Structure 1
Amino acid sequence: MSGPTGAQFEITYGTARAVVTGIGAGLRVFEVAGQPYVETFAESEAPPMGSGNVLAPWPNRVAGGRWRFDGAEQQLELTEPARGNASHGLVRKVPWQVITHTGSLISLGVEVGVQPGWPVPLRVTISYALDAHGLTVTHGVHNIGDRAVPFGIGTHPYVRAGASATDDCTLRLAATTSLPLDPESMVPCGPQVGLSRTEVDFRRPRSLRGERLDHAFGGCVPGADGLVRHRLTGPKTAVELWADPDFRWVQVYTPDEFPGRGRAVAIEPMTCPPDALNSGIDLITLAPGDAWSGRWGLIPR
């Protein structure tokens, strides 16, 4: 199809179903037995509020779109002009190529070429796979240039606990710190602090009713199984977002007006915080020819 998200690729396993978009390789649908576990949108629509977006080669924001690489200032396109930032990477609105598509697996790839503000080419891949446990998403980044380059990865799912209203849910995060963000620019305005010193401590389940969040949380601690685990729990249904330890950060956003839903909650696993291309915090650096991969997923409970 020729809509704003291009071709639609469906995968299934038992009663589980997911739909991935050809433009942006975003997650548009994930449901089990007819119960939705991410917010969705129509094929004919652009992803509202970044829904399902893949965020590479950086997640979140770069202040002023400016950063330095090998001593030279880089200027990225200001894709969030109202705040003066470069936002959410370079691959959200470009076509991805299908690598593999079977009944329960879809893999896509895209090349991030040298362009204003981005000096080293990368090959970025993503796979979505369904099994008896839920959905697993695997990101890959390969440096196909001739210089080492830093990067970060994130994704932007609006997670939901089946039919539960957002305000009827509790949220528990594996995060142990919060990074203060300027309310106007949404870029960091101070060092990260322990959650015991904030009013947004979600280390224990906490109701989302009345919460207004657009917060960057860090220090995500893996459990005994080596995985970071966040959990959204409704009255009858829950969903767990797990991630590899490289996903040390998570942005949580609770808009009031997600189309067709109203109150929603984005739980965005990230390998680095906002403006990491400037701070250097938790960036991953790839030498020429090297590759990285990292996983996250959703498990209905």
Structure 2
Amino acid sequence: MSQFKIISRPLGTVQCYVLQRDDGAEFEILSGYGGGLNAWRVPVNEKHGELLDLLFGYRDGSTIHQVGPDTNAGCRLTPFPGRTGFAKFNWNGNEYQLENNVSWAPHALHGFLQNREWTFQSFESDNDCCTAVFTCDWSGAYAGFPFPFRATNTIIYTGEKVTIYSKVENLGQKDMPYSEGWHPYFSLGEKIDELTLSMPVTNLAVLDSADLPTGNFKEDSRFVPSRKISDEFINDCFCLGKEFAQTPADADFINNAHVLLESEKYLLDIWQRAGIEQYNAIQMYTPPDRMSIAIEPMTTEPDALNHHRGLIVIPPGESRTFEFGFNFIEK
């Protein structure tokens, strides 16, 4: 008999589904707003029956509409993550004009599905895990991105482990330019200043005065092998090296890149599958309250529709699937 179930628990008028384990562990998917990974609650010894929430998310409907456009917490970022410079791009000799959807810069940010409603498709479970599937369609009826596609999120949940398969299918009649990412904010229940961060040696994307990648990179080893975050402000895109990014899709091994976030009592292992046409960049951001840190898997650095580095071209009828996840360990 399965120890998992799925329940509907809306936040105000915004639909939210919760994957629950019998001991109270649960994972929230905010299907009514971007398919967001909204909460991940696990039982821990020190809480004596209470749950530790490992994700920053929205706790009521009004908060979603107030801060959601600025935080995009937990949402899938498709068909481009981060900024598209000056809300326009060129592709195959054509110029496309996007909407400048932020007030603080003249760019387009995070694609089109980060605030849309996703459709619940299925739920399966056994004694070890459960799987929930959600979809969202982009019709392509928009001159700025006339490429119809279907996005599918498959979430596998055990309680202490979450694996996400992020699929996109080109539903149109022509090649589609594509990049993507996700925007989860992780927390261990305390200020991040006291947490230790570890990540691979990476190449930091250098930005220009408009906060767009210049095409230049510099090696970054700030958190190699590991150190406390302290009071450091981070708002950077870390690009993985060739040993990760050039792993063939049909290789007989999976090359995962890991970021470790650690306190005295807990460890989060945040991983992403790297390789050709996979998640080869990690965007990080430390918000002002410093109670969480955004650790975002991305296929490439922002503005890929313009610079085309790491841009994925998906032919008609074809699909691509990306993979990432996170594991929790209580010491």
TM-score, structure 1 as length reference = 0.90
The answer (yes or no) to whether the contact 2:91–2:305 under 8 Å persists in 1 is: no
- 1:145-177 Cα shifts (integer Å, max 9, x gaps): 01111211100111123x242111011123511
Runs (5+) with no aligned partner, structure 1: none
Matched, 1:26 2:73: no
The answer (yes or no) to whether the contact 1:22–1:96 under 8 Å persists in 2 is: yes
2:217 is aligned to 192
Q: Give, as a single letter, the amino acid of the residue that structure 1 aligns with 2:176.
A: V
2:282 is aligned to 250
Out of 10, 15, 20, the residue aligned to residue 12 of structure 1 is 20
Alignment of 1:1-301 (within 5 A): 6-13=14-21, 15=23, 16-23=25-32, 24-33=34-43, 34-44=51-61, 45-46=63-64, 47=68, 49-102=71-124, 104-114=130-140, 115-131=142-158, 134-161=161-188, 163-182=189-208, 185-195=210-220, 201-219=222-240, 222=244, 226-245=255-274, 246-257=278-289, 262-301=290-329
Report the Cα distance in structure 1 between the residues aligned to 2:262 and 2:60, rounded to whole angstroms.
28
The answer (yes or no) to whether the contact 1:168–1:235 under 8 Å persists in 2 is: no
The answer (yes or no) to whether the contact 1:11–1:102 under 8 Å persists in 2 is: no
Q: Give, as a single letter, the amino acid of the residue that structure 2 aligns with 1:217.
A: F
- 1:267-292 Cα shifts (integer Å, max 9, x gaps): 01101111111111111111100011
Q: Give, as a single letter, the amino acid of the residue that structure 2 aligns with 1:41.
A: Y
Q: Give, as a single letter, the amino acid of the residue that structure 1 aligns with 2:15.
A: A
Cα distance, 1:4 vs. partner? 7.4
Q: Give, as a single letter, the amino acid of the residue that structure 2 aligns with 1:277.
A: L
Cα distance, 1:190 vs. partner? 4.6
- 1:179-222 Cα shifts (integer Å, max 9, x gaps): 0124x6322135122226xxxx2232121111111001001555
Cα distance, 1:14 vs. partner? 5.2
Which 10-residue stretch deviates more, 131-140 or 53-62? Answer: 131-140
Richer in strand (by share): 2
Report the Cα distance in structure 2 between the residues aligned to 1:282 and 1:190, rounded to whole angstroms.
12
- 1:68-106 Cα shifts (integer Å, max 9, x gaps): 122110011111232101001100111111111345322
Report the Cα distance in structure 2 between the residues aligned to 1:263 and 1:6, rounded to whole angstroms.
25
Q: Compute the RMSD of aligned alpha carbons.
A: 2.1
Question: CA 1:133–1:29 in 2, change beyond 3 Å: closer, same or farther?
Answer: closer
Which 10-residue stretch deviates more, 186-195 or 206-215? Answer: 186-195
Report the Cα distance in structure 1 between the residues aligned to 2:316 and 2:236, rounded to whole angstroms.
34
Report the Cα distance in structure 2 between the residues aligned to 1:280 and 1:187, rounded to whole angstroms.
13
Q: Secondary structure at the match of 1:81?
A: coil
Q: Secondary structure at the match of 2:200?
A: coil
The answer (yes or no) to whether the contact 2:10–2:16 under 8 Å persists in 1 is: no
Which 10-residue stretch deviates more, 246-255 or 74-83? Answer: 74-83
Q: Secondary structure at the match of 1:268?
A: strand
2:47 is aligned to none
The answer (yes or no) to whether the contact 2:148–2:172 under 8 Å persists in 1 is: yes
Cα distance, 1:120 vs. partner? 1.1
The answer (yes or no) to whether the contact 1:55–1:153 under 8 Å persists in 2 is: yes
The answer (yes or no) to whether the contact 2:42–2:53 under 8 Å persists in 1 is: yes
Report the Cα distance in structure 2 between the residues aligned to 1:50 and 1:132, rounded to whole angstroms.
24
Report the Cα distance in structure 1 between the residues aligned to 2:305 and 2:294, rounded to whole angstroms.
23
Report the Cα distance in structure 1 between the residues aligned to 2:72 and 2:40, rounded to whole angstroms.
16
The answer (yes or no) to whether the contact 1:164–1:237 under 8 Å persists in 2 is: no
TM-score, structure 2 as length reference = 0.82
The answer (yes or no) to whether the contact 1:61–1:88 under 8 Å persists in 2 is: yes
Report the Cα distance in structure 2 between the residues aligned to 1:102 and 1:81, rounded to whole angstroms.
42
Report the Cα distance in structure 1 between the residues aligned to 2:257 and 2:233, rounded to whole angstroms.
24
The answer (yes or no) to whether the contact 1:5–1:21 under 8 Å persists in 2 is: no
Question: CA 1:181–1:120 in 2, change beyond 3 Å: closer, same or farther?
Answer: same
- Aligned pair count? 291
Q: Secondary structure at the match of 1:64?
A: helix
